Amino acid sequence: MSGSEKLNRVVELLDQRGLDGLIIYSSGATMGPKYLYYFSEVKPLGTHNAAVVTKAGDVTLLVQPQWDTLRVSEKGWIKNIIGSSNFLKDLDDVLLKSKITGSMGIVDSTAIPADVYSVIADRAKVELADDLIEKVALERVSEEIELARKTAKIADTGFKACLENVRVGIREWEILAEIEYAMRSAGADDCFNLMSSGKHNHAGHAPRERKLREGDILIFEISAICGLYIQLCRTVVLGEPSKIVLEKYALLVQALEESLKEIRPGSPSALIAKAQNRVLSAAGYGEYCRPPYMAKRGHFSNIVYHAPDRNLDEHVKTILTSGQVVIVHPNQYIPETGYLMCGETILVTDTGFERLSETEAKVYVKEV
Amino acid sequence: METMQPTLIRGRDVWDPTHMPKAEFLERVSKIQNEMKKENIGVLLVYGKSFESGNICYVGNTVPRTAGGGTVIIIPQQGEVALIYGGSSREVFATKQITWIDEVIPSSRFAEDCVNYLKEKNLLSSTIGTVACKRLMPYAQWKVIREGTKQCKMVDADHILTGMRMVKSKRECDQIRRASRIINHVLGSIPDTTLKNMNEEFLEAVLDKEARMAGAEDIRILIAKPKTGEWALRPPEDAQITRGDSLIIHLAASFERYWSEGIRTFVAESASLTQPKLEDARALYKRITQGIKSGKTASQCYKEAVDELQKSKVDYIPTYGLGQGVGLDLQEAPMLTGEDSTMLKEDMLLTLHLAIKDADLGAIMLGNTIYLAKDGAELLTKES
């Protein structure tokens, strides 16, 4: 969908909702839906950015820092760009010039700081309108699907680098540096990698000083980011793995495979978590499928998706549609082994699903 | 310099108490509580996000590592300090590894839990001070806090921490020196590196790894090709670097929360980057640096720098400013502008940028992290 097509669709939806305008805000990088990135087609750099759209179809993009306007004008489709050194004042000026006095929709509403909200509320009646861009983004484009496939290869590359470099004596932060070097060299815009090492892990975390030892169980959550996230969760054992680790990991693989059977257009996404929890509960780990041990069984991962359903659990309402990108991870704390990671990213297709990762779901063993 | 924020702060996540002991944090809290007493503030809410975490780091040594994540530290005028972060209980252990604060509370209903904590601990005092709350906290959360504390007077208390953070302790200066060593190491390694792929993103990958292997916690890289018509600093792209290109590299890295930055200008060869001599620009930079001294205001230093630039008859590019304070945030007070009347003092740390047009290279940029000693400015990221 081109920029002008997105704008036309937004204007149509503004009209249907009786809104005089829309502010699509971004405070930069986000773990949630990337509304402004989707709409403007440029990754925001600074901590305050916003597109102001009027019901007449005029659009102004406020960009911070001021000097980033050149990049934004070269990469995106919006022509009217204002580099801002005083965001609150500049936003107020744009609202004044746009003559929006009725109802104004705000998008990325959960990120808008109190100061920015006050400026908007002083000029117009504010309505939350995240769903408006979510509706536009539902019309998935082939480019996003191709991007998902490309990004999945980068995550695979990261895990391959992990296997090549992991060894006794390397520190946690050194192994992640190797992984991220491989991922960035392969074209990742950004990485979101967590890990843990030890005989009994409790959760993935940012890398620490710890040096890896023989017998360690290593868990990795490797996410490549190129607009959308593609995640790969895998477990590596440094040296001979114990029988119990192999046995319990097979349970996670079974949970993964069972949950994938629930993925097809029209299927409730909550069934993914239910299938995983069913397998794990049947094996006696029902109480470990709940907090504080576990909560979510994956995430939605398109550039924009229905924000309240970001995390996959048994209660999400989203019905799966073709083109959705879903991270599915039956990662599990198991008292006998500690936390084990097993998960990957799945594309919902017209007929079912496609596994985007080429890295097999199994325990990886690195000889020492 | 503002930079592209990462989705996750990915590097070495360590608190080394030999570098920054608990006693230093307790001393800071004690000073804050004294200021609170003077201003009749019963409790202080210090808020921070991943992209501006200096205040919560200053108090609690903690930084929300994921984009958008928020943390509040509650400081009563007397009594225990508490930290509430938006996240799951599984993260408590990791959070406690880097903070001295014992009361660490995970929360999925951040604002509600904040209000409940204030109520439970009888901290709904007549006056609540807020630091960075209105500026950074999402409106919906702020509204819940405001409604839950409506019987209290809310006062903006940013100035308490801003004032304290500008002048660094000896240990803070040492941390910034450590971060500066990473900058020196990485920028210094560039001319010796053979690039198997003359691509901006590959160069970024190489620099990122070099910094990370030197112990960096967070790394930011901007790039510019000033020979190519209109240009500006920007994140590296999937674009080739061609022999003869001039290349400006801005590198910032943090070490155990503390930042340093450096900017250098290079020329591309077939598989490497070389550093041109730039003798005039360096001499000019040195003269400007010598003018930055404690006992002068930030605006006075700025005006003297502008005078020096005019005297030198260079074509100055003001786009990126002259510089500002650096420490727990990459950009903090004071600002080297014509409007900032802050008196510069010994033990302040600043970044100083110079951007000028150049007939051969398009433009030259030089930038360093400087320490204000008693007898003048010391470059911490001095080129070898």
Question: Rounded mean pLDDT of B318-338?
Answer: 97
Q: What is the pLDDT of residue B384?
A: 58
The residue whose two tokens read 């114990």 is A242
- Whether B158 and chain A come into contact, CB under 8 Å, resolves to no
The residue whose two tokens read 């990108």 is A325
**Which residue does chain A place closest to B239, by CA atoms?**
A187
Give the residue ranges of DSSP H helices in chain B: 22-38, 54-60, 92-96, 110-120, 133-136, 139-148, 158-166, 170-189, 200-213, 279-290, 298-311
Q: What is the nearest CA distance from B203 to chain A, expressed in angstroms?
A: 8
- Whether A113 and chain B come into contact, CB under 8 Å, resolves to yes
Question: Which residues in chain B have Cβ-Cβ distances shorter than 8 Å to A307?
Answer: none
> Does A67 sit within 8 Å of B233, measured CB to CB?
yes
User: Tens digit of pLDDT for each residue in B151-163?
Assistant: 999 999 999 999 9
Residues near B48 by Cβ (< 8 Å), separated by ≥ 6?
B54, B55, B56, B57, B63, B64, B70, B71, B72, B73, B132, B136
Question: Which residues in chain A have Cβ-Cβ distances shorter than 8 Å to B220?
Answer: none
Question: Rounded mean pLDDT of B243-249?
Answer: 96
The number of C-beta contacts closer than 8 angstroms across A and B is 164
**Which residue does chain B place closest to A174, by CA atoms?**
B213
How much is the mean pLDDT over chain B? 95
User: Tens digit of pLDDT for each residue in B349-373?
Assistant: 999 999 999 999 999 999 999 999 9
- Whether B295 and chain A come into contact, CB under 8 Å, resolves to no
Q: How far apart are CA B277 and CA B283, in angstroms?
A: 11
**Nearest residue to B368 via CA among B252, B265, B286, B261:** B261
> Does B142 sit within 8 Å of A187, measured CB to CB?
no
Residue A10 to residues A57, A137, B231, Cα–Cα distance (Å): 8, 10, 32
Q: What is the pLDDT of residue A295?
A: 78
Q: What is the dihedral of CA B356, B359, B361, B365, to 10 degrees?
A: -10
User: Tens digit of pLDDT for each residue in B255-306?
Assistant: 999 999 999 999 999 999 999 999 999 999 999 999 999 999 999 999 999 9
Q: Quick check: B175 and B24 in contact, CB under 8 A?
A: no
Q: What is the nearest CA distance from A319 to chain B, expressed in angstroms?
A: 24
> Does A45 sit within 8 Å of B3, measured CB to CB?
yes
List the domain boundaries for chain A: 3-138, 142-366
ipTM (interface pTM): 0.94
Tell me the pLDDT band of B91, cut-offs 50, 70 and 90: confident
Q: Enter the pTM of the model.
A: 0.95
The residue whose two tokens read 């007070």 is B333
Q: What is the pLDDT of residue A1?
A: 86
> Does A185 sit within 8 Å of B197, measured CB to CB?
yes
Is 90 exceeded by the pLDDT of residue B68? no
- Whether B382 and chain A come into contact, CB under 8 Å, resolves to no
Chain B interface mutation, best of A205, A226, A297, highest count of B Cβ atoms under 10 Å: A205
**Which residue does chain A place closest to B8, by CA atoms?**
A192
Residue A32 to residues A129, A182, A319, Cα–Cα distance (Å): 15, 25, 19
In the CATH hierarchy, which top-level class contains the domain A3-138? alpha beta
Residue B114, judged by CB atoms within 10 A of its CB (0-12, 13-18, 19+), counts as buried
Which stretches of chain A score pLDDT less than 50? none
User: Tens digit of pLDDT for each residue in B197-242?
Assistant: 899 999 999 999 999 999 999 999 999 999 988 999 999 999 999 9
Q: How far apart are CA B280 and CA B353, in angstroms?
A: 15
Helix (H, G, I), strand (E, B) or coil at B261: strand
Residue A18, judged by CB atoms within 10 A of its CB (0-12, 13-18, 19+), counts as exposed
A286 backbone dihedrals φ, ψ, rounded to 5° = -55, -45
Q: Cα B76 to the chain's mean position, in Å?
A: 27
Q: How far apart are CA B298 and CA B333, in angstroms?
A: 10
- Amino acid, single-letter form, for residue B214: A
- In terms of CATH architecture, what is A142-366? Alpha-Beta Complex (3.90)
Q: How far apart are CA B263 and CA B252, in angstroms?
A: 9
Is 70 exceeded by the pLDDT of residue B30? yes
Q: What is the pLDDT of residue B302?
A: 97
- Whether A308 and chain B come into contact, CB under 8 Å, resolves to no
The residue whose two tokens read 């100061």 is A115
Q: What is the nearest CA distance from B18 to chain A, expressed in angstroms?
A: 15
Q: What is the pLDDT of residue A292?
A: 82
Q: How far apart are CA B182 and CA B188, in angstroms?
A: 10
Query: Which of B93, B232, B234 is the closest to A202 by Cβ?
Result: B93
